[in-house]
Every structure is written in C-alpha cells, then in structure tokens.
Structure 1
Amino acid sequence: MNLFNMLPLVSPVAGSWTPNFDFEQILSAFLVLFAVIDIVGSIPLIVSLRHRAGTIQSEKASLVAGALLIAFLFVGERMLSLLGIDVYSFAVAGALVLFFLAIEMILGIEIHKIEEPKTVSIVPIAFPLVAGAGSLTTVLSIRAEFRVENIIIAIILNMIVVYLVLKFADKLEKILSPGVLNVLKKVFGIILLAIAIKLFSANLNLLINIL
C-alpha cells in the first residue's frame, strides 16, 4: 500500500455527488492527523491536568474537538475565499507549519512556545490541545488532496483514539515509559515530515499551474 498515493479532491456537484470512500485516503488522513494531534505524546500533560482538575470529561472533550475540526473542514475554505486565498496556497502554508511541527517532534526543540493554560475543562483539552492551530491547519491543508468524506472518517477515528487516551491516561502512562513515548514521538515526527514535504510539492505544482 502506498501511503502517499493521494487522489485529488473532487468537489461535490449538487444532485450528483455520491460518497467515494477510499481506505488508503482514510489511512493517510488518519496518520497525518494522529501525528499532528500527538495525543499519545500528550499523556504526561493530560495526567497532570487530571490531577489538578480531579477529572476530565473525555466524551465532551472528544465531541467538541471533533466538531471543531469537522466545522473548520467546511467553513475554513469559505473563510479563506473571503480573504482571497485559494485552498492550494493555504495547503502550501499548512505544509510549512507541519514541517516545523515535525522538526520539533524529531529534534525535541521548541520553535513555537505556547503558555500553559490554567483551566482544564473544554479548554485546554478540546482546544487547543486536540483541535489546535496545527490540527485545524492540517484539516484544511489535506482537503486539497483527500475527499471530504474520507477526512471526516479520519477525524472520527482520531477522536475515538483521543477519547480512549483521555479515559485511560493514567493507565497508559504506567504502561508507556517516557522513553517509549519519546520514541513514538520521533517516529511520528518523521512520518509527518515526509507527509509535509509531499503535501508541499504536490500543491506547489498545482499552484504554479493555475497562476
């Protein structure tokens, strides 16, 4: 299976659009979002927040984060059109964001510092930990490569993973040592870096062709 065999997005036409589910696209979109959200790497932070707040509403956090991602998938392009920006330009910009996120994950450096929030309800779990700038940018960026229905399924699958991690964060922290978490973070960082380069080159070519 070729992870990077990305098919172009086909916009639905009223009255003639039918879902076209593609397992390869779903898997690719799932891995991209999984790497960007990095919920496994956030387990120590989640455990810390749980200790301070006493409890985390796993269901609510997952539902809100998923709703934000899906909403941005549909509304984000309209917002861009109002600003006079096409989806390919945004995808190129998004690929650069993914590139730097991957560099952070691989090298263990901090390029963009985010202050730790002081509340532990929907904020910061649903936003910005799960549905943050990186994942929102990613959702709109990969729309230039994948069909919408496949991205939605990938989002839902990721929210299931998010729910399970939030629900069993304490147990997972005991199972996964800091060393294992660090290795996983670097592995998904390399995957994310490769995807960012592919996303950048593909959309840059499309952008040059339409100019």
Structure 2
Amino acid sequence: MIEYLKYFILIYGGLFAITNPIGAVPVFLSVTRDLGWKERREIATKTAITVVITLLVFALIGQWIFKFFGSSIDAFAIAGGILLFRMAMEMLSGNISTVKISREETEEFSGEAVTLEEVAIIPLAIPLLSGPGAITTVMLYTARSHQIFEKALIVASIVAVGLTSWLILYFSSKIQERLGRLGIKVMTRMMGLILASMAMQMIINGIRGAFGL
C-alpha cells in the first residue's frame, strides 16, 4: 500500500510541477481582468474539467499513438525529456514556458472579446496547463504501467491535479495578493528545478532502454 502511495505522490508531484497552476495565476488574472467573480469561477471550473479530460484522453490512447506512428517508448521518453528540459530552463528564469503559451497569445486573448468557453479551453486549459509536457508525461506513465492499479493511480493523479488547478485558479486573486509576483516567480523556479530533474531522469531512462544499458 505504501508503494502505491509513493507512486501516486510521484505522478501527482510531477504533473503538478509540469502544469504549474501557480505560475498560471498571472495569466489567468490577465485574461479575466474585465470579468466578475462568478465568471472567473465558471472559467476556473471549465478550465479544470478540460485539463482532466485532455490528460485522461491522452493517457488512455497513448499506447495506440505509439503503435500508429511506430515510435518506441524509449524514443518518446528521450524526446519528451528534451521538451521538458527546455520548459524547465524557461521556468528556472521565472517565466511561463513558451512551449505552453507565448506572450503574444496571452495579449491576444486578454485584449479581445471572447467567450468564456474560449478562454477556459484556449489558452488556459490548452496549452497553458495541459500542454505538450503534461501530455507527454501522462502518455509515458501509462505506457510504462503494467498493473490495473497503477493505471488507476495515474487517473487519480490527473483528477487530483485538475482539482488542485481549480482551487488555485478559484483563489487566484488571493494567491497573488499573498505571494505577489515575486513569490509566484520563486514558486515557478522551484517547479522548474523539479521539472529539470524529471526531464533528465526521463532522458536517462530512455537512453538505457534504447541501448539496453
């Protein structure tokens, strides 16, 4: 039981670092700056639901994607590790990774009149939270899990990350007031450091598997 708990914490911690909902707070407040409290709550809810659905879909169909494109898990791990490492380097500088969302995209959605559904799905859920890094990670975790209980823990971790993201976005104003922009940048750097170590381990595991080391 303890091993399963450790496995859950490992997956949840990794996904939390990759999605980095705390770092997404300034973006969320920027694109919802002209909306009231009820609209922000609705967007936070739809964003969290979209994140969960997106990650669950790729977790469930990941193995068929590997087969369709003829890619091995080890090759995908190396490519995914490189992608995550790039994200980590940008996060270590205190910035939201441009692999997720660019500055131009943020300004585009904060400056135009768009529907709540559009804001919640793009850019908040995709690609800000459930971007390429998170999708790659859940696909790899699912591909490397062989027991039903392990797959269930992956699903539980995705749901937990979605719930955490909802809570953080729901209380985004208070979080920014307490942490400030400097505090959020510090948290983003911490998540970047965790992500960098995950990326390197992913690359190492991929190289070992590919070359039979």
- Could you state the TM-score of these two structures normalised by the residue count of structure 1? 0.82
Q: Give the equivalent residue in structure 1 for 2:87.
A: 101
Q: Give the equivalent residue in structure 2 for 1:164.
A: 167
Deviation per CA, 1:46-105: give whole Å up to 9, x if none: 111121344232222211210110110011221221111122211221111111111111
Deviation per CA, 1:5-50: give whole Å up to 9, x if none: xxxxxxxxxxxxxx99711111111111111111101111111112
Residue 212 of structure 2 aligns to a residue whose secondary structure is helix
Q: Give the equivalent residue in structure 2 for 1:47.
A: 29
- Could you state the TM-score of these two structures normalised by the residue count of structure 2? 0.81
Question: Structure 1: which 5+ runs fail to align?
Answer: 1-18
**Residue 92, structure 1, aligned to residue 78, structure 2:** yes
Q: Give the equivalent residue in structure 1 for 2:11.
A: 29
Question: Structure 2: which 5+ runs fail to align?
Answer: none
**Residue 141, structure 1, aligned to residue 140, structure 2:** yes
The answer on whether the counterparts of 2:91 and 2:189 sit within 8 Å (CA) in structure 1 is: yes
Q: Give the equivalent residue in structure 2 for 1:10.
A: none
Query: What do you get for the CA RMSD once the two structures are aligned?
Result: 2.4
**Residue 63, structure 1, aligned to residue 49, structure 2:** yes
Amino acid at match of 2:124: I
The answer on whether the counterparts of 1:69 and 1:139 sit within 8 Å (CA) in structure 2 is: yes
Identity among equivalent pairs (%) = 25
- In the TM superposition, what is the alpha-carbon distance from 1:209 to its structure 2 partner? 2.1
Amino acid at match of 1:181: I
Structure with greater helix share of residues? 2
Q: In the alignment, which of 179, 190, 194 is matched to residue 191 of structure 1? A: 194
Q: Distance in 2 between matches of 1:21 and 1:75?
A: 26
